[in-house]
């Protein structure tokens, strides 16, 4: 149990700065998700918290104690790696026991902790197997078990679900969330998948090019994105962006001043003509429960619509679409929400 504080943390490789001063506070028991596109520095940040990367500038504080110069081994954190990083030559039991043996723990206690963890993760039957003989989901559980037996103050997850197939990913997502409820530890979770972030997080930190774009609860980020980047990153399918100048006058009329870009989410568009946008349909995707329409506006800008019912609209037909006023997002020249 611990809270974590990052104060103006920076990271520079040779002359290339990848983390540009991040301030962040994660309180005890929080499930915090670091999300961002690949190469944004989120994994680097996690590895700096873990102690696997040196900190160029700034401070990392765990429970009021600066840990900049404390080695990874002594920070008392546990990490689940993207590739699981199970020791291939050791059985599952040895994998789980390795960290505890390094802490010179007594054998009885090691056994007890392992038994607890394997019961929790339902991997009792595989204790004698080598990682190579396990399926992807089983390896994932062992990797999580290796973190659990350590009883760390903070769990770190580095894209742990990215190697699982879609079905298993959803199941494990639910399980991880349940695990967090049960253990109540602070967890920091890195992912590039905004769905994972939305479903699991208490707090989402959106990172882009080494800068924190926005911190907040999932719905807060969805409803009130701070800027174009967050607006585009959170939500699936992506938010539609149209240039202000290309909009019809009746829409322009209720826009705040200084608006440069207009944004509206595909699920907030419907067929109708209150605030009419003319659209030529280029593609239709029917998913049964939902339908996605892709089209071009009069000014040749792409627009997508999500309908929560089936549709008989054909490709190349022209339709009028509309939206509720309060669902419109407006951004100024710098991409900041107005």
Partner 1 sequence: MSAVIKFFSRTQGHKKLSFVDWIAYGYLFLGFLIIFLPVAWLLLNSIKSQFLLQKLDTNLLPLDYDRVVRATVFGPEGKEIFIIKDLPDWVIYWNELRDEDKKQKNDPEAFILKFDGNEYYALRTHLGLVSKHAKELIKNKNLPEWLIKYPSMFPNAKKDYDPDTYLKGLNEEEIRLLSEFLVLKPYKPNGFTSQILVSAINPDTQEIEEYSVNRINTNKETINARLISNPQGGIVKIPSNEIIVNKKLRPSWINYSDPLTNNVRGMNFDAIKCLNNSVFVTIVATIITVLINSMAAFALSKYRFNGQIIFFIIILATLMVPASVLIVGIFKMVSVTGLSGTLWGVIIPGAATPTGVFMLRQYMLTIPDELLEAARMDAASEWSIFWRIVFPLALPAIAVLAILSIIWRWNDLILPMIAVSTTKTAYTIQLCLLDFQGEYVAQEHYRLAMTVVSLIPTTLVFVFLQRYITTGIATTGMK
Q: Minimum CB separation from partner 1 for residue 46, in Å?
A: 11
CB of 80 to partner 1, least distance (A): 9
- How far is CA 277 from its chain centroid? 33
**In the sheet that 261-264 helps form, which strands lie side by side, from edge to edge?**
240-243, 261-264, 329-331
Q: Is 51 or 216 the residue whose CB approaches partner 1 more closely?
A: 51
- Angle between helix 107-121 and 92-102 (nearest 10): 130
Q: Which is nearer to partner 1, 74 or 314 (CB)?
A: 74
- Measured distance CA(29)–CA(200) in Å, rounded: 13
- Whichever of 50 and 206 has its CB closer to partner 1, that residue is 50
Task: Assign 185 to helix, strand or coil.
Answer: coil
**21 vs 99 by CB, closer to partner 1:** 99
Residue 89 vs residues 122, 128, 143, 144, 150: alpha-carbon distances, Å: 22, 12, 15, 18, 20
Pick between residue 53 and residue 213 the one whose CB is nearest to partner 1. Answer: 53
Nearer to partner 1, 143 or 284 (CB): 143
Least distance in angstroms from the C-beta of 147 to partner 1? 8
Q: Of 109, 205, 196, 122, whose CA–CA distance to 149 is shortest?
A: 109
Report d(CA 304, CA 106) in Å as an integer: 60
DSSP secondary structure string for all residues of 64-129: TEE-TTS-GGGTTEEEE-TT----TTS-HHHHHHHHHHHTT--HHHHHHHHHHHHHHHT-GGGTTS
CB of 125 to partner 1, least distance (A): 18
Min. distance of Cβ 110 from partner 1 in angstroms? 13
CB of 160 to partner 1, least distance (A): 12
Cβ distance to partner 1 smaller for residue 48 or 307: 48
Please state, as a whole number, how many other Cβ atoms lie within 10 Å of the Cβ of residue 81: 15
Nearest-angstrom CA–CA distance, 63 and 67: 10
Residue 69 Cβ, how far from partner 1 at the closest point, in Å?
Answer: 15
End-to-end CA distance of the chain: 39
**By C-beta, is 82 or 236 nearer to partner 1?**
82
Residues 6+ away with beta carbon under 8 Å from 314:
281, 284
Helical ranges in 107-213 per DSSP H: 107-121, 136-149, 166-183, 194-200
In the complex, minimum distance from the CB of residue 253 to partner 1, in angstroms, rounded to a whole number:
55
Closest CA to 230 of 302, 337, 158, 157: 337
Nearer to partner 1, 99 or 232 (CB): 99
Which residues of this protein are in contact with partner 1, per CB under 8 A? 47, 50-52, 71-74, 77-79, 81-89, 98-99, 102-103, 130-133, 136, 139, 146, 150, 163
Nearest approach, Cβ of residue 175 and partner 1 (Å): 20
Angle, helices 107-121/136-149, rounded to nearest 10 degrees: 140
């Amino acid at each position: 149990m611990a809270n974590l504080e990052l104060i103006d943390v920076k990271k520079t490789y040779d002359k290339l700065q990848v983390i540009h001063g991040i301030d962040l506070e994660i309180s005890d028991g929080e499930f915090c998700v670091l999300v961002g596109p690949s190469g944004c520095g989120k994994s680097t940040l996690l590895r700096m918290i873990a102690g696997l990367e040196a900190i160029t500038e700034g401070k990392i504080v765990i429970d009021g104690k600066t840990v900049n110069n404390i080695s990874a081994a002594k920070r008392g954190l546990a990490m689940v790696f993207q590739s699981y990083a199970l020791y291939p030559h050791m059985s599952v039991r040895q994998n789980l026991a390795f960290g505890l043996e390094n802490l010179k723990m007594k054998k009885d206690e090691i056994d007890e902790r392992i038994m607890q963890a394997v019961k929790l993760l339902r991997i009792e039957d595989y204790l004698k197997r080598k990682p190579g003989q396990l399926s992807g989901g089983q390896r994932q559980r062992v990797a999580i078990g290796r973190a659990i037996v350590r009883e760390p103050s903070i769990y770190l997850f580095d894209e742990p679900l990215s190697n699982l197939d879609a079905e298993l990913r959803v199941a494990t997502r639910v399980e991880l969330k349940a695990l967090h409820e049960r253990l109540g530890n602070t967890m920091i979770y890195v992912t590039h998948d905004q769905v994972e972030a939305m479903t699991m997080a208490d707090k989402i930190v959106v990172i882009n090019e080494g800068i924190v774009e926005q911190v907040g609860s999932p719905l807060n980020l969805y409803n009130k994105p701070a800027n174009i980047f967050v607006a585009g990153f959170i939500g699936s399918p992506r938010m539609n962006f149209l240039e202000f100048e290309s909009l019809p006058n009746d829409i322009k009329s209720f826009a705040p001043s200084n608006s440069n870009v207009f944004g509206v989410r595909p699920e907030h568009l419907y067929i109708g003509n209150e605030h009419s946008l003319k659209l030529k349909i280029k593609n239709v995707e029917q998913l049964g429960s939902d339908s996605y329409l892709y089209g071009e506006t009069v000014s040749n800008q792409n627009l997508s619509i999500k309908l929560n019912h089936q549709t008989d609209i054909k490709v190349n037909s022209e339709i009028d679409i509309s939206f509720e006023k309060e669902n419109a997002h407006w951004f100024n020249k710098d991409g900041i929400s107005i």
